[in-house]
Amino acid sequence: MFGSRGTGRRLVIATAMFAMAATANAAERVRYASVGDTTRAPIGWIEFCAENPGECRGGATQPRDIVLTQTAWTDLLRINRWVNDNVKPMTDMDHWGVVEKWSLPTDGYGDCEDYVLLKRKMLIDAGWPREALLITVVRDKQNDGHAVLTVKTDKGEFILDNQNEEVVAWTDTGYRFVKRQSQSDPNNWVALGDPRPSVVTASAKQR
């Protein structure tokens, strides 16, 4: 299903070095983000769920972390790169004529949360538990609202991002983490310690 364009030698090297890259200095870095109280869902999520109820199945569930094998790591790299290569950046205003709209980028265009929604869907369709795939709102390096996908694993939390071709630990992004889906219920959102409001999450910057 996934194209091989743009992977080549870098994917092979990344896979071969998986054990070293994923676990290096694990004892010296913060592996998991600190989760706070329940907070409001980001603008666009509720409307997306109303239009796509199958993507937002809720209800209490048991939190699950992925066992990050070499195969799982390869899948993350492949899906992150495939979506980044095949979806073209476009703001919601240019795309839909509104400031904020969450949607699956079925026409090949989208902004940051649309990349996230597709990566999450592809991983779930491939058998990954949704409890380990958490849509996350951050402040990027320019302090703009931005959305990424946090993947919860036994080796820490890793980020799939349309602004980065690589899959990296959350501590290596340079972002400030604001809120994300709860592992116990994807329709609940929890604060991650950044008090600044995130009015708009969209980012369609060129990578």
Q: By mean pLDDT, which of 17-31, 143-157, 167-181 is the weakest? A: 17-31
CA dist 173 and 140 (Å) reads 8
Which residues, in sequence order, are CB contacts of 135 under 8 Å at separation 6+? Answer: 45, 113, 116, 117, 120, 147, 149, 150, 180, 181
**Tokens 């939390």, located at residue:** 157
* Residue 177 in this model has a pLDDT that exceeds 70: yes
Looking at the structure of the chain, the number of domains it has is 1
In a domain, 125, yes or no: yes
Decide: residue 47, CB within 10 A, 0-12 exposed, 13-18 middle, 19+ buried. middle
Structure tokens at 145: 């609202």
Q: Of residues 52 and 17, which shows the higher confidence score?
A: 52
Quick: pLDDT tens for 36-78.
889 999 999 999 999 999 999 877 788 889 999 999 999 999 9
Residue 164 counted as domain residue:
yes
For residue 206, being part of any structural domain is answered with no
CA dist 149 and 44 (Å) reads 16
What pLDDT score was predicted for residue 8?
Answer: 54
Cα–Cα dist 179/127, whole Å: 25
Interacting residues of 111 by C-beta distance below 8 A, sequence separation 6+: 89, 90, 91, 92, 95, 202, 203, 204
Confidence check: pLDDT of 17 > 80: no
Question: Where in the sequence is the domain holding 164, given as residue range(s)?
Answer: 8-191
Report pLDDT for 33: 81
User: Is residue 196 domain-resident?
Assistant: no
Q: Which two tokens stand for residue 195?
A: 């008090």
User: pLDDT for 147-170, tens place per residue?
Assistant: 999 999 999 999 999 999 999 999
User: Is residue 197, in this structure, part of any structural domain at all?
Assistant: no
Q: CA 189, 153, 4 angle in degrees (round to 5)?
A: 105
Q: What's residue 25's pLDDT?
A: 44
Phi-psi domain of 34 (left: phi exceeds 0; alpha: psi -120 through 50; beta: other): beta
Give the closest residue to 182 by CA, choosing from 44, 62, 101, 67: 62
Instruction: Report yes or no on 198 lying in a domain.
Output: no
Q: Which residue has the tokens 């972390």?
A: 65
17 versus 113: which is more confidently predicted? 113
* CATH number for the domain that contains residue 179: 3.10.620
Q: How confident is the model at residue 30 (pLDDT cuts 50, 70, 90)?
A: confident
Q: Is residue 35 in a domain?
A: yes
| Residue 3 maps to a domain | no
